[in-house]
Amino acid sequence: ASIASTDMGLLLRDDVFVDFFNTFLNLPVFGQTPIYISGVGRWYLWPELPSHLDPSPAALLAWLEKHRLPHFCKSSLCLHLVLCQKLLGFIRSGEAAELLSWRSADRWLLEKCISGSHGMRHFRAFVRGTAGEELIDFWLITERLLGLDESDGSQRDLFSSLVHRLRATHLREGSSIVTLCTTIVGSLPKARHVQSVSSRREILSKMQEQALFMIQGYWLLKFFVHCKMGMEEEESCQPLLQEYQERLSQTYWQELPGLSEPLPTMHIKRSQGVSGPYCSQKAKAEIWALLKEGRDTQELKMASFQVKPEKQPGPAGSVEELCLDKDALGSIPQQSEQPANTGFGGKRVTFPGRPQSSAEQDLENLCREKILSDLPPSASHAQLPSLKKPVKTLDFLPWALSAEACAGRPFRDFLQRQNRCMEAHLLDLWHDLEEFLPVVLDSSRENSFFLRHLIGEKICKTYLEEDSIEKLPLETGTLVSLWNHLICGEFSPWIFRAQKEICEVLHSLYEEFLAGDDRTFLQFMAPGSDVPVPEGPGRAAGRAEPFHLSQRMNQSLKLSQALHGTRSLEGTSSKHWQLLAARDLQKGGSIQAEMELLL
């Protein structure tokens, strides 16, 4: 709420906010996807505006404040920003210096390690599989829940869903949260029967404070030690360690910050030689074709994978686990749990022990369509696809919807404003299936067993009950097959079939969403001008550096998915240290560091 009510110009003075906001702005669900380089005060727009226009930074900030910031404040990236700011506040405090006995040089290095969306992903990867993971998950869910008004009908379903999730995972007997907050939790059963909402909120708030205290006082210190040891083994981090050693040897007066440099004048990079209609839909199609071209050129190099029975199935019975290679495209999250370069696309799904039927072969083909690989880093502009085959919105809609989950659900808001209740319900089903997949496919996740049953039952009761199923414009066989597997918390490739059928219903409405986003952007940036916005696919304005643009959006999506929970967090590796060395919050931050490492 405090972020939403703050002036955009003031927010952009905070480099940590800029890093998270840039990651959000480049999610491929949106039409316009700008990036801000705070060190020079420059905005880069994409798609670019026609070159005869002289766009105003003030107009851009007004547009961002009205049409992007509200969605950011509902995103998981914003929750991680709030947590990151609280951790940084603790790191800079006298309490931390006294409690953890560190000097300003230690504070400087830890800030470097944890700042920005990349720093938070690294921190979450470090605590994965520990009690620290549960503490962070609990803090994030509680932060979202306490920000909701359960008396508001539009927020009631989300509030109820988060409460059920907490009870099924973090508030169950034996959880790290219950163990940590035994005294506070003692009042919880009473609170459930108390009419006062403030009582329940007060209890959760106290538990959240306790969880944060443990994260700050214990897990931050362990992360700091982990970072120093990891950096010592990575050659690219040596300049950072050298500066750290120099700061350790400095006297107190030298450690005090000097006068801050004046902020650079904010401006927008002018486009050159760009004319014709402004059309983000066409621009997205070209980027998607580029990503797809990268997938097609690598399919022969990909190893096959299998859907195997879990070795130790839980009480639900046999659970099929999807064993993925590393490096799947960030665009389609759950099914491609690992980082970029290989994945579901181009691989063969087999069901061991029995021949495939024609229906299963169809499902295999859907799986192949669902996940795409990254464009090889060696690709040059001379190798760009010819785009002879037109790309339809339906081709890249799964990519966009995967990003929508991380972006505060702007497409759903559009559907609600259009009174498209059934379509919004379908979109909710798409996202719930998307949320279910990483939980059921990754048994190592915290509370995986409880969550897969919780989400599976929720999907069945919300969408697949007899009175609901007739209202959905999907194949009956698809819905019945979903019920048969999800009610038991089992993986089913029919999930991909259902998502494909949903996309076929929604793709024309997504085109309307993009066209509306374009019109709104032009109303702010070019009021009274005659810049055309084509009703159908037009010619994209500005196709400069399409390879870099495609990778920028893809890196943004992968990073957002990891924090949102629709992509498994990678274990710490040399890549994390290389990204740390490359990351400069004033020069593009996390997604720019990913780009530099990729290139």
One digit per residue, the tens of pLDDT, for the chain of length 599 reads 889 899 999 999 999 999 999 999 999 999 999 999 999 999 999 888 888 888 899 999 999 999 999 999 999 999 999 999 999 999 999 888 887 778 889 999 999 999 999 999 999 999 998 999 999 999 999 999 999 888 887 888 888 888 888 888 888 887 888 888 876 655 544 434 334 556 778 889 999 999 999 999 899 999 999 999 999 998 999 999 999 999 988 754 344 444 456 788 999 998 876 767 788 888 888 887 777 765 554 443 333 333 333 333 333 333 333 333 333 344 343 333 333 333 323 333 333 333 444 555 555 555 544 443 333 333 333 333 444 466 788 888 998 999 999 999 999 999 999 999 999 999 999 999 999 998 888 877 777 788 889 999 999 999 988 777 667 899 989 999 999 999 998 888 999 999 999 999 999 999 999 999 999 999 999 886 655 555 444 444 444 467 778 888 888 999 999 999 888 777 777 888 888 888 888 888 888 877 777 66
CA neighbor of 307 nearest in space, from 323, 319, 288, 286: 323
Residue where the block lists tokens 């720019």: 592
Euclidean distance between CA atoms 81 and 171, whole angstroms? 25
Could you give the 3-state DSSP secondary structure of residue 309?
strand
Structure tokens at 293: 């071209």
> Residues 176-211, buried b or exposed e (16+ Cβ, 10 A)?
bbbebbeebbeebeebeeeeeeeebeebbeebbebb
Structure tokens at 452: 């897969």
In whole angstroms, give the CA distance from residue 45 to residue 60. 10
Q: How far apart are CA 213 and CA 585, in angstroms?
A: 27
pTM score, whole prediction = 0.83
- Residue 380's CB is within 10 A of a number of other CB atoms, namely 7
Token representation of residue 512: 């309307």
- Residues 187, 203: contact at Cβ < 8 Å? yes
Reduced to 3 states (helix: H, G, I; strand: E, B; else coil), residue 320 is strand
